[in-house]
Amino acid sequence: MLMKKIVILTGAGVSAESGIKTFRDSGGLWEEHRVEDVATFDAWERDPELVLKFYNERRKQLYECKPNAAHIALAELEKKFDVQIITQNVDDLHERGGSTKVLHLHGELKKSRSTMDETLVYPIEGWELKMGDCCEKGSQLRPHIVWFGEAVPNILKAAELSSKADIYMVIGTSLNVYPAAGLLGYVPPYVPKYLIDPNGNEVMGVNNLTIIKEKAGKGVTELVKKLMA
């Protein structure tokens, strides 16, 4: 039997109940830093130690976090649907929640990559990435994160996946950051779409959108129950 395809775009809000802060709910500061001081290539060139320290802290925190009810419910969906997650998050909570197909748009906190050859990507053992940690070609390793101003290599794949959805879900994202925010535009108009976010609003030009103004833990669990019934 051919399974229906559910494509799910997630953002920081899906991990909020696991204890990871969202970006735009924290008054412009992100864990006490301005984004341009830690999450741009300029920041890396100016002060790589600060950037490494910032991401080391995020990684350390991630080890203390667990997937929440929303991550777990999304993994449940795989029993009945072909489920593809597209996440803007750099945490690994979807994977730890049991989801098997997760496309990361903005990189992964638990990986590093070479500053000389972007195809060289490595898992980070433990929480710390240091100055002097090098790739096999001898250049410094950087966090495997897509910083502001950098290209998003997985966006074409994400757009193609979005165009093939039978059901689309958007969870916990302010839809402020492009190109990810534009993915809804690739979903055919007749496809049912659900937006789960306590601050969710209509999206211009998007049809068939049901807005569920709940936190992910409750909103996703209830929607999954309905879809599985």
In the complex, minimum distance from the CB of residue 38 to ligand OAD, in angstroms, rounded to a whole number = 10
3-state helix, strand, coil in the chain (%, to 5): 35, 20, 45
Say whether residue 172 binds ligand OAD (CB under 6 A): yes
- Of 17, 48, 54, whose CA–CA distance to 35 is shortest? 54
CA atoms of 219 and 212, how far apart (whole Å): 7
CA atoms of 7 and 10, how far apart (whole Å): 10
User: Among 65, 134, 177, 209, which residue sits at the site for ligand OAD (rule: CB under 6 A)?
Assistant: 177
Say whether residue 158 binds ligand OAD (CB under 6 A): no
Say whether residue 106 binds ligand OAD (CB under 6 A): yes
- Of 103, 90, 85, whose CA–CA distance to 21 is shortest? 90
Reply yes or no on whether 106 is catalytic: yes
The number of C-alpha atoms within 13 Å of 222 and in the hemisphere containing its C-beta is 11
User: Among 38, 86, 124, 146, which residue sits at the site for ligand OAD (rule: CB under 6 A)?
Assistant: 146
Say whether residue 39 binds ligand OAD (CB under 6 A): yes
In the complex, minimum distance from the CB of residue 39 to ligand OAD, in angstroms, rounded to a whole number = 6
**By CB under 6 A, which span of 125-133, 159-167, 186-194, 197-205 interacts with ligand OAD?**
197-205
CA atoms of 58 and 60, how far apart (whole Å): 5
Q: Which residue is nearest to ligand OAD (CB)?
A: 13
In three-state secondary structure terms, 104 is strand
User: Among 72, 85, 170, 216, which residue sits at the site for ligand OAD (rule: CB under 6 A)?
Assistant: 216
Task: State how beta strands 141-145 and 107-114 pair.
Answer: antiparallel
Could you tell me how many residues of this chain bind ligand OAD (CB under 6 A)?
23
CA atoms of 64 and 18, how far apart (whole Å): 9
Say whether residue 33 binds ligand OAD (CB under 6 A): no
Active-site entry in 71, 94, 104, 106? 106
Say whether residue 198 binds ligand OAD (CB under 6 A): yes
Binding mask 7-26 for ligand OAD (x = CB under 6 A): ----xxx--xx----xxxx-
> What pairs with residue 193 in β-bridges?
168, 209
Say whether residue 61 binds ligand OAD (CB under 6 A): no
Cβ(96)–Cβ(66) under 8 Å? yes
Say whether residue 97 binds ligand OAD (CB under 6 A): no
Binding interface with ligand OAD (CB under 6 A):
11-13, 16-17, 22-25, 39, 88, 106, 146, 172-174, 176-177, 197-199, 215-216
What are the catalytic residues? 106
